[in-house]
Structure 1
Amino acid sequence: MLLHEAVGRALVAHGVDTMFGLVGDGNLFVVDSYVRHAGGRYVGATHEANAVHMAHGYAVLSDRIGVATVTHGPGVTNTLTALVEARKAAVPLVLVCGDTDSLDRDGPQVIGQRDLVLPTGAGVEQVRSAQTALEDLSTALRRARTERRPVVLNLPAELVHAEVDFVDQRVELPAEARLALDDGQLDIAVGMLASAQRPLILAGRGARGAATSLSALAARIGAPVATTLGAKDLFRDDEANLGIFGTLASPAGLDAITKADCVFAFGASLNRYTTVKGSLLADKTVIHCDLDVGRLGRLAEIDAAVVGDAGDVAETVVAWLNEAEIPSSSFRATIFAEGSRDREESLLAMPVAGGGRVAEGGRVDVRTALRAIDAAVERDRTFVTDAGRYLAVAWPEVHVDHPDHFLFTVSFGAIGTGVGSAIGAALARPDHPALLVCGDGGLMLGGLAELSTVSRLGLDLVVVVCNDSAYGAEYVQLAGADLSPGLTEFSWPSFEALAGAMGFEAITVNDAEDLGTAVERIRARTGPMLVDIKLDPAAMPDVAH
């Protein structure tokens, strides 16, 4: 068969049931063969960056390798920011790129694609020949999975129509082995817990499968529980939940964190946002547990390290504590008894505005709006965000049933990632609604045209635009320096009208009455919906640092 037919067939043989992309001269025949001959599902994007964002969202929410495809030259250059985002987020992803003819020196789309891609941190596999192409594809898929990063596969144009024999090159990767726990490490950790008067359990994304075991450990030692942003809502139904630990902590939650004298962190990187540049771990005993020994103590000073699965370690620690008859602390009971505070309002609530003023003109504040949206969209949703200063409210206030249903898209700090990522995430969980919270700038930069893709696919996606008609992070810097923020302000066209033209139900929210109407319409929606919330840029929260 022709090589493009073999590549299409090989993708399906490798289990790639969905591929995202934008077709051009360099990849057109591969995509056609993938769909027409191999039966794969192809989702066309309006921009190459969004094709990669879609594959990113699909990979994270499906726990599979995401696959995207673009043409050569400008098709590749348009993906670079998306590749960096996926690399920083450690997402396994393969980007199948056309490459110009190896003998073509001065064609308009000739560029050194390998040299462009490598600085993003993504890997590169060059198709060496028609005879090795299927092996090269298999290698790219294997590398994406084992290296936990994007890998770009360059397919030169002169090979696409070469005749080859199809050979199944699938490689079955072994399951991850469970490490035997080190009694010496555990003994040190248990000793530290036994000496603690005010212990706290912190779960990161690496511990998101161990909620039951970690809650049991916390109850046994009298500790409250908290999570990093990556594991948000892991303890949503735990009576001792403090919410997010770090720059997004509520004032009451931060008070409890500050009082703790021992933090047992499971599957958390302990990055500067979680630790507030180390300040939240100062004067505390820190025990760090992770499956990857290379992550232990890499970003924060720790007192003890335990290599192992979070659930296994937590259950073993409980057994040892029981065997030694070590009593529980009273810290948990004290924290939740102080002042008879309402847990939901006091421990999990962020301030309404981080140093801003009250919204003018009868407009709702961003917290009120997002709380109403959180209550209106079904609880089993997939939650995605773009980047912007509204995140200081969106991340703590909008919830999910499990952290696996939350997609973080801000590893590179770029706006414009949201709509594409939400499309991929929604396709990975097709029987569940998806909720995207984005800013006006991010929507205009990278997502507006992709609303047409949402409509074309008939996705149950609610897009909430936090619209302060400004680039907010820059607005607050100029305003804070007593300079005019006019450079950051924009008069956008009506998002309601634009979304309606693309097949969305849409509504503009200017005040509390409009918000009530929006909630009713969200609950009664029959297709994709956009809610444009008009906000006062001077009353928005500051970005968490």
Structure 2
Amino acid sequence: MRAHRRVATALRELGVETVFGLMGEGNMRPLIDFAGLGGSVVAATTEGAAVSMADGYARVGRRLGVASVTHGPGATNALTALTEAVRARTPLLLLTGDTPPREDHLQRFDLRGLAALAGAGYVRVGAAADAAADVARATRRAATESRPVLLDLPVPLQRLDVADGPPLRPPSPLRPGAPGEEELDRALGILAGARRPVILAGRGALDARDEIVALAHCVGAPLGTTLLGKGLFAGEPLDLGVIGTLASGRALETVQAADCLLVLGAGLNRYTSVDGALLEGRAVVQVDRDPARISAAAEVGLVADVRRTAASMREQLIAAGQEPATAHRGDLAALLAAEAAGPVASADGPDTLDPRTVMRWLDRVLPADRVVVTDTGRFVSAPWRLLSVRSPADFAHTCNFASIGLGLGTALGAAVAARRATVAVVGDGGGVMNLVELATAVRLGLPLLVVVCNDGAYGMEYRHLRAEDDDPSPARCVWPDFAAVARALGARAATVRTRADLEALDGRVAALGSDGAGPLLVDVRCDPDVDPDADPAEPAGPA
């Protein structure tokens, strides 16, 4: 067979079911072959969106994401989305192919250099006979290194004949390690002596929920998460929610009173640690399978599997007669429940809505098993705080590279993976960048709700100008009518300005994913002078 078909065959043998792509000379043959072999090719409108789709598919589907673009401008158009996926540590394969080796080829570009610039891995197929082995090597690297790998299949090589070798087998999952005895003993000594321990878990603890909850009951520890661990302990009475700059008042107070912080499968970046303030004055024990993620602030760092470590800790503490700590407030569960049920501060205008109002409404109306994806922008704290999910696997954001415009594509891939109600919360500036991809969602019939927080401005820049007592009007923008554009692309759409407008959408939003009606866009008109992070009683900025 031809080398391009051997690559497509190798992908199918390795268990790849879906490829997100945009066809060009450098990748059209493998894409056609992949579809012919029973795989699903989701055609994107832009190369960046194709990579974002694969990114969202991998994050929510918890499997390898695969995207394919052509060489030259196809690859450069995908650079921002590829960088986001690198920083999100997404296992992703980006299939492209180098141009014919001519100096006058208009689309020539250094693919190896592009991959290095983004921080992605790079595998070049150097000989047609090695095509299948190189596909396997690239996918294995993407999985084990938790990052995208660019697979370069040069165009001249694609048409060469190769022998049909034995079928490839999907790689076996890595067996996580057990904690070292000496480090485990030190960690247990700290936990056993803690009077007010708190457990902080991240997305790396996704498969260890039951073991962590059992350990928390054993030591008497409230449970909190990073943003990427959002929803992990939903339903637990002592669930503190997201810890760090997004924490509720009660959660922040509880962590500040702790004498021990057990960090499981979570990073301790500046947002989670509040620039290190939540780590000072308390013992930190951290467990992660990646040694690079162990913080210098950790008194004990265990490079080990979170699930096995949590189970081992509990077993040994019970065997030693450990009693739960009792120094936390006895009414903490009741206080947390009251805080969660309390009113949400918002500042709606006569014809505008505060994003906090909208997110609380969505949290009430959307199907409980929804997937939530956010773009980045000044609106994000509202969905991060107020729009809940049942599991961290149902949440993704595109803030790792802080680029607006990636949220819609990522949500499309997430919806393909989940095949259930998916909501994308985007700003107007970021939303308009890839609004055309709604046509892809329509074509696929995806159960997608796109919520545009439309303040008619580049919101962060508007806020910065106001904070510096400058005229913010240069950051104002005039957009096309989002609802009209969405309808032109085949989607359902509505514009909302008041709570009554929201309530009128209850039925359509509640039925998302069960009515088979496809995507719905809601254009929410917001006031750029309302800061969703501020108390409405306080002025948003200089008058």
Provide the C-alpha distance between the structure 2 equivalents of 1:106 and 1:362, rounded to a whole number of angstroms. 57
Provide the C-alpha distance between the structure 2 equivalents of 1:203 and 1:348, rounded to a whole number of angstroms. 23
Relative to structure 1, is the Cα distance of residues 345 and 21 closer, same or farther in structure 2, using a 3 angstrom cutoff?
farther
Matched with 1:444 is 432
Q: How does 1:71-110 map to 2 (within 5 A)?
A: 71-102=70-101, 104-110=102-108
Matched with 1:56 is 55
Matched with 1:41 is 40
Matched with 1:352 is 345
1:96-150 CA-partner distances (Å, limit 9, x unpaired): 1122102x11121122222222111111112212222222222222221222211
SS in 1 for 2:518: coil
Provide the C-alpha distance between the structure 2 equivalents of 1:306 and 1:434, rounded to a whole number of angstroms. 36
Q: How does 1:476-491 map to 2 (within 5 A)?
A: 476-491=463-478
Query: Given that residues 415 and 441 in structure 1 are in contact (C-alpha distance below 8 angstroms), is that contact kept between their aligned partners in structure 2?
Result: yes
Provide the C-alpha distance between the structure 1 equivalents of 2:98 and 2:134, rounded to a whole number of angstroms. 14
Matched with 2:422 is 434
SS in 2 for 1:380: coil
1:464-519 CA-partner distances (Å, limit 9, x unpaired): 11111111111111010111111211121111111111121111110111011122
Relative to structure 1, is the Cα distance of residues 90 and 519 closer, same or farther in structure 2, using a 3 angstrom cutoff?
same
Query: Given that residues 225 and 242 in structure 2 are in contact (C-alpha distance below 8 angstroms), is that contact kept between their aligned partners in structure 1?
Result: yes
User: How many residue pairs get matched?
Assistant: 530
Q: Which amino acid aligns with 2:484?
A: A
Relative to structure 1, is the Cα distance of residues 132 and 323 closer, same or farther in structure 2, using a 3 angstrom cutoff?
closer
Matched with 1:4 is 4
Q: Does 1:313 find its partner at 2:309?
A: yes
Q: Percent identity?
A: 41
Q: Does 1:330 find its partner at 2:311?
A: no
- Which one of the candidate residues 358, 361, 369 is aligned to 1:369? 358
Matched with 1:122 is 120
- 1:351 CA displacement: 6.7
Provide the C-alpha distance between the structure 1 equivalents of 2:344 and 2:52, rounded to a whole number of angstroms. 32
1:76-114 CA-partner distances (Å, limit 9, x unpaired): 110111111111111111111122102x11121122222
Provide the C-alpha distance between the structure 2 equivalents of 1:347 and 1:522, rounded to a whole number of angstroms. 23
Q: How does 1:19-418 map to 2 (within 5 A)?
A: 19-36=19-36, 38-102=37-101, 104-168=102-166, 170-297=168-295, 300-334=296-330, 336=332, 341=335, 343-346=336-339, 352=345, 358-418=347-407
Provide the C-alpha distance between the structure 2 equivalents of 1:53 and 1:348, rounded to a whole number of angstroms. 35
Provide the C-alpha distance between the structure 2 equivalents of 1:420 and 1:165, rounded to a whole number of angstroms. 38
Query: Given that residues 196 and 221 in structure 2 are in contact (C-alpha distance below 8 angstroms), is that contact kept between their aligned partners in structure 1?
Result: yes
1:436-478 CA-partner distances (Å, limit 9, x unpaired): 1111111112x20100000000001111111111111111110
Q: Which moved more, 1:230-239 or 1:25-34?
A: 25-34
Relative to structure 1, is the Cα distance of residues 269 and 335 closer, same or farther in structure 2, using a 3 angstrom cutoff?
farther
Query: Given that residues 56 and 66 in structure 1 are in contact (C-alpha distance below 8 angstroms), is that contact kept between their aligned partners in structure 2?
Result: yes
Query: Given that residues 473 and 542 in structure 1 are in contact (C-alpha distance below 8 angstroms), is that contact kept between their aligned partners in structure 2?
Result: no
Q: Which amino acid aligns with 1:401?
A: R
Query: Given that residues 199 and 331 in structure 1 are in contact (C-alpha distance below 8 angstroms), is that contact kept between their aligned partners in structure 2?
Result: no
1:390-416 CA-partner distances (Å, limit 9, x unpaired): 111111211111111112322111111
SS in 2 for 1:189: helix
- 1:362 CA displacement: 4.3
Q: Which amino acid aligns with 1:87?
A: V
Residue ranges of structure 1 left out of the alignment (5+ in a row): none
Query: Given that residues 252 and 347 in structure 1 are in contact (C-alpha distance below 8 angstroms), is that contact kept between their aligned partners in structure 2?
Result: no
Q: Does 1:536 find its partner at 2:527?
A: yes
Provide the C-alpha distance between the structure 1 equivalents of 2:122 and 2:491, rounded to a whole number of angstroms. 39
1:222-271 CA-partner distances (Å, limit 9, x unpaired): 22110011110111100001111101101221111111111111111111
What CA RMSD, in Å, does the superposition of the two structures yield over aligned residues? Answer: 2.0
Provide the C-alpha distance between the structure 2 equivalents of 1:34 and 1:91, rounded to a whole number of angstroms. 22
SS in 2 for 1:272: coil
Query: Given that residues 26 and 157 in structure 1 are in contact (C-alpha distance below 8 angstroms), is that contact kept between their aligned partners in structure 2?
Result: yes
Provide the C-alpha distance between the structure 2 equivalents of 1:108 and 1:307, rounded to a whole number of angstroms. 48
Q: Which moved more, 1:208-217 or 1:69-78?
A: 208-217
- 1:164 CA displacement: 2.1
Query: Given that residues 366 and 509 in structure 2 are in contact (C-alpha distance below 8 angstroms), is that contact kept between their aligned partners in structure 1?
Result: yes
Matched with 1:504 is 491
SS in 1 for 2:262: strand
Provide the C-alpha distance between the structure 2 equivalents of 1:176 and 1:292, rounded to a whole number of angstroms. 13
Relative to structure 1, is the Cα distance of residues 240 and 116 closer, same or farther in structure 2, using a 3 angstrom cutoff?
same
Q: Which moved more, 1:180-189 or 1:25-34?
A: 180-189
Provide the C-alpha distance between the structure 1 equivalents of 2:341 and 2:177, rounded to a whole number of angstroms. 35
Provide the C-alpha distance between the structure 2 equivalents of 1:517 and 1:453, rounded to a whole number of angstroms. 27
Query: Given that residues 97 and 152 in structure 1 are in contact (C-alpha distance below 8 angstroms), is that contact kept between their aligned partners in structure 2?
Result: yes
Query: Given that residues 122 and 150 in structure 2 are in contact (C-alpha distance below 8 angstroms), is that contact kept between their aligned partners in structure 1?
Result: yes
Provide the C-alpha distance between the structure 2 equivalents of 1:16 and 1:131, rounded to a whole number of angstroms. 21
Q: Which amino acid aligns with 2:447?
A: D
Provide the C-alpha distance between the structure 2 equivalents of 1:276 and 1:302, rounded to a whole number of angstroms. 16
- Which one of the candidate residues 416, 425, 447 is aligned to 2:414? 425
